[in-house]
Structure 1
Amino acid sequence: MILDVQDIHAFYGKSHILQGVSLTIREGETVTLLGRNGAGKSTTLKSIAGVVAPQRGTVKFKGVEVGTWASHRIAAAGVCFVPEHRGVFRLLSVEENLKLGARRDSPWQLTDIYRIFPRLKERRSNGGGQLSGGEQQMLAIGRALMNHPRLLMLDEPVEGLAPVIVEEIVAQLKQIRQAGIAILLVEQNLEVCTQLADRHIIIEQGRIVYEGDNAAFARDDAIKDRYLGVGVA
């Protein structure tokens, strides 16, 4: 078990957002966290990454309790979080952005990133602000890889992107998965989710309400309709 989250509660001010969330991820597994807007998906990722400190519960990474750690320490341990806004430095070049995340002990170096993301190699001298949305997403993922992740957490990586770019990013995530990195994915595009994930977890109003493997989820139209608002024709 690489990640073991038990009964975490998180607040924004007085708003009780996460109300006892528990989930686990095994080594090399890809898991999606699904739910409607405002259900608590992003807050769950932020709580695991230390961006939002859980008020109750435990977050164990590789058997070590990290729920009270600062976010930079959690990242250094191998939990790499790519937020929805991507965090690309617009005035730095692609290569400078990548080198910001570089660690000498990472199996992912510049040549590896450019192999998986050939668009980034083509644009390595371009500023981050000159990239398209899809290229910025690739850059954010590539920078996270250079930080030597054992667990890669992605928040809405293909939101608003053209279908051809979505296909490209899905193919790249499959390569990352094949390298043995565990992935926790928040994503609204169910086709993307079922292409990538071993398991699916649904959160509703700050609580986990469903968990199932990919095959069970794919055939359970009632669950998708009830919790995700996906109408079945």
Structure 2
Amino acid sequence: MILKVDEIHSYYGKSHILQGVSVSVSEGEVVTLLGRNGAGKTTTLKSIVGVVRPHQGKVVFQGDNVVGLPAYQIASRGVCLVPEHRGIFKLLTVEENLTMAARRDSAWGLKDVYKIFPRLQERRKNGGGQLSGGEQQMLAIGRALMTHPKVMMLDEPVEGLAPVIVDEIVAQLKLIKATGMSIILVEQNLEVCTQLADRHYIIEQGRVVYAASNAEFLADDGAKDRYLGVNIVA
């Protein structure tokens, strides 16, 4: 088990957002956090990486409880969050965005990122602000890889993107998964989730209300209707 979140409670001011969330991720596993808007999915990611400090509970990464550490120290240990807003530097080139994040000990270099994201190599001299939404998402993921993550967390990576770009990013994430990367994915597109994930958690009102393997989740129409208000065709 590379990451175990144990009964964390997190707040925004006096608002009790996470009310005892527990999730875990094994080496090389892809896990999704599902749920309606406002359920606490993004807050869970922020709590893991230290942007939000849990008031109770543990976040155990590679055997150490990292709750209370500054976010930059948690990131330096190998927990990386790719936020929903992507956070790329629009005035820097693609290559500058990537190289500024590079770590000497990283298993990922420019060639590795360009192999998975050939569009980035084509656009390497372009400014980040000149990229399409899909290309900016690829850049955000590529930049995360340059930091040598052991667990990569993605918040809504395909939101608002055209279906052809979604398919491209899913294919790229499958390549990253094949390297043995552990991934936590927050995503509303259930088809994307079921293509990538080994296991799923559903969060509702700050609590985990459902956990299942991908096969179990695909077969459980009742859970999809009850907790997500949707159904998918496999």
Distance in 2, Cα, partners of 1:178 & 1:231: 28
2:179 matched residue in structure 1: 179
- Structure 1 pair 106–205 and aligned structure 2 pair: CA distance change class (3 A): same
- Structure 1 pair 119–86 and aligned structure 2 pair: CA distance change class (3 A): same
2:164 matched residue in structure 1: 164
8 A Cα contact 1:203 1:209, kept in partner: yes
2:96 matched residue in structure 1: 96
8 A Cα contact 2:101 2:147, kept in partner: yes
**Secondary structure of 1:154's partner?**
strand
Distance in 2, Cα, partners of 1:63 & 1:175: 27
1:66 matched residue in structure 2: 66
Same amino acid, percent of matched pairs: 71
Matches within 5 A, 1:77-92: 77-92=77-92
Provide the aligned C-alpha RMSD in A. Answer: 0.9
Q: In the TM superposition, what whole-angstrom CA distance separates every residue of 1:167-193 from its partner, at most 9, and x where no partner exists?
A: 000000001000001000000000000
Letter in 2 for 1:185: L
> Displacement, 1:158?
0.2
Matches within 5 A, 1:47-62: 47-62=47-62
8 A Cα contact 2:190 2:232, kept in partner: no
Q: Where does the alignment leave 5 or more consecutive residues of structure 1 unmatched? A: none
**Secondary structure of 1:112's partner?**
helix
Letter in 2 for 1:228: L
2:229 matched residue in structure 1: 229
8 A Cα contact 2:34 2:188, kept in partner: yes
8 A Cα contact 2:191 2:232, kept in partner: no
Q: In the TM superposition, what whole-angstrom CA distance separates every residue of 1:113-158 from its partner, at most 9, and x where no partner exists?
A: 0110000000001001110110000000000000001000000000
1:213 and 2:216 equivalent? no
Aligned pair count reads 233
- Structure 1 pair 97–7 and aligned structure 2 pair: CA distance change class (3 A): same
- Structure 1 pair 13–177 and aligned structure 2 pair: CA distance change class (3 A): same
8 A Cα contact 1:225 1:232, kept in partner: no
2:7 matched residue in structure 1: 7
Q: In the TM superposition, what whole-angstrom CA distance separates every residue of 1:78-99 from its partner, at most 9, and x where no partner exists?
A: 0010000000001000000001
Matches within 5 A, 1:184-203: 184-203=184-203
Distance in 1, Cα, partners of 2:168 & 2:106: 24
Distance in 1, Cα, partners of 2:232 & 2:225: 7
- Structure 1 pair 111–208 and aligned structure 2 pair: CA distance change class (3 A): same
**How does the TM-score come out when normalised to structure 1?**
0.99
Q: Where does the alignment leave 5 or more consecutive residues of structure 2 unmatched? A: none
**Secondary structure of 2:222's partner?**
helix
**How does the TM-score come out when normalised to structure 2?**
0.98
